[in-house]
Every structure is written in structure tokens, then in C-alpha cells.
Amino acid sequence: MSKINNRFQQTWNDLAAYKAFCVSHGYKFNEEDLYNMKRYPMQQWNKWRNGKNAKDQWSYDARRFRCNIGAALLNKY
């Protein structure tokens, strides 16, 4: 069995964490944006990863469209 490269494993771990962040904070997930600091979701993930507050798109959209996201999700299931 071959030894797994640490950088390779870290990249996959970061990709999974980035995807979880995008889903939980309402950002569009694109694998190409990983490590691209010119992209806004990546900037927000980096802020969140470093312990700072990141903008939550779900709450922003709820205020913008005047709806309750929690109630909408409960009615969906």
C-alpha cells in the first residue's frame, strides 16, 4: 500500500471543509475556487477558518426576500 502524500490529503480535507462551508452559509460551491483568493466565497471561507465572522448568505437572502428561511425549510420536508 502506498503512502498518502500529506499535501494531497490536506487538499481533499480543505475541499470537503470548503463545500460544507458553502452549503451551510449559502454560497455557490465551485471546486475551482479552492485556494483562489480572488473569489468571494473563498475569501469568506478563509475568514471563517481563521475564526472571524463570515457573511451568511442565507440570512442575507431571508432579509432581502422577506421570508423566513427556517419555516421554508420545515415546510419543504
pTM value > 0.85: no
Q: Which residues contact 36 (CB under 8 A, 6 or more apart)?
A: 42
pLDDT for position 57? 85
Q: Name the more confident of 64 and 54.
A: 54
What tens digit of pLDDT does each residue of 14-57 get?
999 999 999 999 899 999 999 999 999 999 999 999 999 988 88
**pLDDT of 76 above 80:** no
pLDDT for position 77? 41
Give which of 29, 6, 9 is closest to 18, Cα–Cα.
29
pLDDT for position 2? 64
- Residue 63: φ, ψ to 5°: -70, -40
Domain ranges of the chain: 6-76
